[in-house]
Each structure stands twice: as structure tokens, then as C-alpha cells.
Amino acid sequence: MYEPDQIPFTAKSAHQYELETRRIRVAVKPAYLDDQSDPEDDRYVWSYTVTIENKGPEPVQLLSRYWSIIDGVGRVQEVRSAGVVGVQPVIAPGESFQYTSGCPLETASGTMSGRYQMMSASGESFEAEIPAFLLESPYERRQIH
């Protein structure tokens, strides 16, 4: 995965995907990075910007993340780590936290989905689902069925 300062702003915009779990809204906007990709070498790179909005009544902290990344031929990669981009943000009611990261694949398309482990200020642990989203390049188009 890439740190935010490694993602150039020459990304081609795609769709935004949204899902709300327990008053935590997660929105993801992926973009294909043509200038970091090399299709002749089976290297395709995307950025994705995630916005996590707390629509609930108390602060929540993002403790960890889990990603399931599936490339165009069905290979699955699972990623687990504490926080996101090196932080475990506390998100106050009505506030949001946004970050950008990236994903390289050896195929021209894929999908990502996952979840964040959250902790409420009152000590309750819960998962906020990340919506499944497409990684599409100009070289291949897929659909979620």
C-alpha cells in the first residue's frame, strides 16, 4: 500500500462507493493511475480515497483495518494492520476523516472490500464495513454481480 504523499494527483476519477454501518458512513473513490502503471509489465496501480464519517452520537476511534483484494484472475490478498496510513484517528460526532492510499495489481482489474475495527468512546467495539469497489483500468472493464 502507498502512503498519501506517494499518490500523484493525475488519477483518473471513477465511481464513488458508499456504505453505512452503525452510523459510520464509509465512502470510497478509486482512481486508476496511468502514470504509475505499466500494462506491458503486468503492473496496474490505483489510488483510493476513503472518507469515514461519524453520524453517531459519540466519538469513535478507528483501531485497525482489514482488506480483501481480489485481482482479475481471482487471486486473493488479505491485508490487516493497525490504523490507516500510520494513524488511529478519533472521529467526533458529525466529523469525518479522509485518507488516500493505493493498490497495485498484476491484472487490469480487480475488487477491494473490507472493514474497520472501531471503538466507541463508551468502550464498545464494532466493525464498520467498507463497501466493495471496483478497480477498473482502461484495459478491462468488470461488473460486480
What is the 3 state secondary structure string of 60-114?
Answer: EEEEEEEEEEEECCCCEEEEEEECECCECCEECCCCEEEEEEEEEECCCEEEEEE
Give pTM, 2 decimals. 0.85
Give me the domains of the chain, ranges plus CATH numbers: 4-133 (2.60.40.1470)
User: What are the tens digits of pLDDT across the range 25-53?
Assistant: 999 999 999 999 999 999 999 999 999 99
Instruction: Scan for cell 469525518, then name that residue.
Output: 96
> 16 pLDDT exceeds 70?
yes
Torsion (CA) 117, 26, 7, 110 in degrees, nearest 10? 90
> 140 pLDDT exceeds 90?
no
Residue of higher predicted confidence among 5 and 140: 140
